[in-house]
């Protein structure tokens, strides 16, 4: 009996793939830093029994029409807004993601971005490199402290709770907004559940970790930024489409809010001429929330565990639903 065929839409380290070659024939896209082209993806979709996709791969009805043998799609991300789940499920295909394994790495990055933005670290680095540091002065590149400040977390899932634990260690007061109350987090961290509007009005740091859904698309709009304190700092490590970027730019330029730290954008890779990139009070990262070596390796292994489990007739390890 021939082995099933699995395709991975990026090149990943062979040492991670090798153990799974006993179970399946595995093909990979030739680049690790460029997305698979449409023609190749369609060809592979027609031949594959299982596929490992990246968050930048759009899996919709059009591409799935080519998938005659496909049994499982493993998405290398927690979010899955790139997958048309309704079409996937209607075709009897299993969809999986990678929860849990990236929680701590993403929380680390979120808090690092919060610190870098609040304490103006990127501005300070450039100030030194550009030869502008001529003397010390009391308010040179003065930023915002964390201690005794309110952090408002929008989206209190696993990553949100991990960020809250870090914030607690910095002496911050934790506010959160979520679809459901998190009683354990409230007990452990003294976190306070708030309406979205109340969180915006009270928070010194507003951290967006909510998944992208029809309800959250454009959640942070002109009205949201107008509700924030003028000293507020906005952090987004979820999805770019949760934010109205034009409204964010206007809020920053007008002084409606103080600064922003962004790991995600509406269009990725972001255009280097994007208006937000022109602002010194914005720290921009290339969607690296989970990008530690340990976590990315764990994510790839989990994807392959999901694929091979389904192809062997077993339940997936982490089904999306």
Q: Which of 62, 183, 268, 294 is catalytic?
A: 268
Backbone angles phi, psi at 311, to 5 degrees: -70, -20
Residue 178's φ and ψ, nearest 5 degrees, are -155, 165
| C-beta of residue 185 within 8 angstroms of C-beta of residue 161 | yes
Let me know if 69 is a catalytic residue: no
Contact residues for 123 (Cβ-Cβ < 8 A; gap 6+)? 141, 280, 281
Catalytic residue selected from 239, 245, 258, 296 = 239
- Contact between residue 52 and residue 312 where contact means Cβ atoms under 8 Å apart: no
HSE-up of residue 110 (Cα within 13 Å, Cβ side): 33
287 is known as an active-site residue: yes
Q: Is 176 helix (H, G, I), strand (E, B) or coil?
A: strand
294 burial level (CB within 10 Å; 0-12, 13-18, 19+): exposed
239 in active site: yes
The residues carrying an active-site annotation are 239, 268, 287
């Amino acid at each position: 009996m021939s082995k099933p065929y699995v395709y991975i839409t990026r090149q990943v380290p062979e040492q991670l793939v090798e153990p799974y070659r006993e179970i399946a024939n595995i093909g990979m896209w030739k680049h690790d830093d460029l997305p698979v082209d449409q023609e190749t993806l369609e060809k592979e979709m027609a031949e594959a029994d299982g596929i490992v996709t990246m968050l930048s791969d759009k899996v919709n009805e059009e591409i799935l029409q080519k998938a005659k043998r496909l049994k499982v799609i493993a998405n290398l991300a927690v979010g899955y807004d790139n997958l048309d789940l309704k079409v996937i499920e209607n075709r009897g295909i299993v969809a999986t993601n990678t929860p849990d394994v990236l929680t701590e790495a993403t929380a680390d990055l979120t808090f690092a971005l919060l610190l870098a933005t609040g304490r103006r670290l990127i501005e300070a680095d450039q100030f030194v490199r550009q030869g502008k540091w001529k003397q010390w002065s009391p308010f040179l590149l003065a930023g915002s402290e964390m201690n005794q400040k309110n952090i408002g977390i929008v989206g209190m899932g696993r990553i949100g709770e991990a960020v809250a634990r870090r914030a607690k260690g910095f002496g911050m007061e934790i506010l959160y907004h979520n679809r459901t109350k998190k009683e354990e987090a409230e007990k452990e961290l003294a976190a306070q559940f708030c309406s979205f509007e109340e969180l915006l009005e009270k928070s010194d740091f507003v951290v967006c970790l909510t998944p992208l859904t029809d309800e959250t698309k454009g959640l942070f709009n002109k009205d949201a930024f107008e509700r924030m304190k003028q000293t507020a700092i906005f952090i987004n490590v979820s999805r770019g489409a949760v934010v109205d970027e034009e409204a964010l730019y206007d809020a920053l330029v007008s002084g409606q809010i103080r600064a922003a730290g962004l790991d995600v954008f509406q269009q990725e890779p972001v255009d280097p001429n994007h208006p937000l990139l022109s602002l010194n009070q914005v720290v921009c990262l290339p969607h690296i929330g989970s990008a530690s070596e340990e976590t990315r390796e764990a994510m790839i292994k989990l994807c392959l565990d999901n694929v091979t489990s389904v192809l062997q007739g077993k339940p997936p390890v982490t089904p999306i639903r």
